[in-house]
Amino acid sequence: MTIADTQLQTQGAPQGAKDIGDAWSRMVARRRLYTGIGLLILIIAFVSSVRFADESNAGHFFDRLPHLFDFLSWLIPKDWADVYRALFDLPSPNGANGVGGEEFNFPNGRVYVWGNFYIPEYFELMIITINVALVSTIIGFVVALPLSFFAARNMSPSHPVRLVTKRFMELLRAFPEIVIAGLFSAILSIGPIAAIIAVGLHTIGALGKLFYEVIENIDMKPDEGMRAVGASWTERVRFAALPQVLPNFMSYVLLRLEINVRASTIIGAVGGGGIGEELKLSISRGFGAKTVALVLLLFVTIVAVDQFSAWLRRRLVGEHAFLLQH
């Protein structure tokens, strides 16, 4: 390298740095322009969709928005002791002429079991809702368990069986429980049976997917050992795969039970029986004490189910599985 070349490089360095700086500035400006255009398009699309939805809504959402808190004021009971009375079906001194009325006739819902011993109406409805969730979860688990082994890539007996089983479970998951419940209510009439079928079918599809994903991640060495001694497909599933996946299966089943309690409540609001139907009627009629009592009972039940399932999961899976997560 000559002295003349070195001088040329020294003279060209500042010019190269300036070019790089200019290119960087142009790139940043272009990105800011694209970001601004994207945000503008997003805002226009959002405002247009909200205006379209508002005009399509018969109640006009924005016109009714200032009255949102009117709804809450209707539901606040004038006498908070009525919440306790509604929960346990006790007589109330409130209402027309101090003798009640439909809003305050709490004892009318009592379910007498033996003599004067009775179950409060809302407790009976909550038991129906829990029963719907429990039965549908058991049905979902019993059916999803064998289907998941047919659908798992590493345990399925054949490729066509795996494809058909996976498509079947996707079909069961494709429709929300409330749509399936509406279909079966038209066939079987309104009641808990339609709710059990709807929640059960959706549970089969959901648990089946979770189960076969767990199966596809198992250690295949026990299965290879079973194959080596000539075990049948059923024996491989029973002694090689099932012991590895059963704790995870039980964890998913208990999680699904919590979800099904909420789903059964929602289906009850459209005629599936249970506490959801009574909650819908109470809200639509503006019965504040009854509504607060139902919401309180529902909240306590959800917390109780959550705590029970957490305790049972610890007993089944073991404390070490939870300690490893922290």
CA Rg value for the chain: 31
pLDDT of res. 5: 55
pLDDT of res. 101: 67
Does the pLDDT value for residue 208 go beyond 70?
yes
pLDDT of res. 322: 54
144 vs 106: which has the higher pLDDT: 144
10 vs 135: which has the higher pLDDT: 135
Q: Are 253 and 208 in contact (CB under 8 A)?
A: no
Q: Give the pair of three-digit tokens for residue 6.
A: 């070195």
Q: Are 229 and 140 in contact (CB under 8 A)?
A: no
Q: Which residues contact 290 (CB under 8 A, 6 or more apart)?
A: 86, 103, 278, 282
Report the C-alpha gap between 271 and 274 in whole angstroms.
9
Q: Are 157 and 221 in contact (CB under 8 A)?
A: no
Q: Are 236 and 227 in contact (CB under 8 A)?
A: yes
Q: What is the mean pLDDT of the chain?
A: 82
| Pairing status of strand 117-119 against strand 111-114 | antiparallel
Q: Is 314 helix (H, G, I), strand (E, B) or coil?
A: helix
Tens digit of pLDDT for each residue in 242-295? 988 988 888 899 889 888 888 888 887 777 778 888 888 888 888 888 888 888
Tens digit of pLDDT for each residue in 181-206? 878 877 777 778 888 888 999 999 99
Q: Give the pair of three-digit tokens for residue 315.
A: 């007993």
Tens digit of pLDDT for each residue in 1-59? 555 555 545 455 556 788 888 889 999 999 999 999 999 999 999 888 877 877 776 55
pTM of the model: 0.72
Does the pLDDT value for residue 325 go beyond 80?
no
CB atoms within 10 A of CB 172: 21
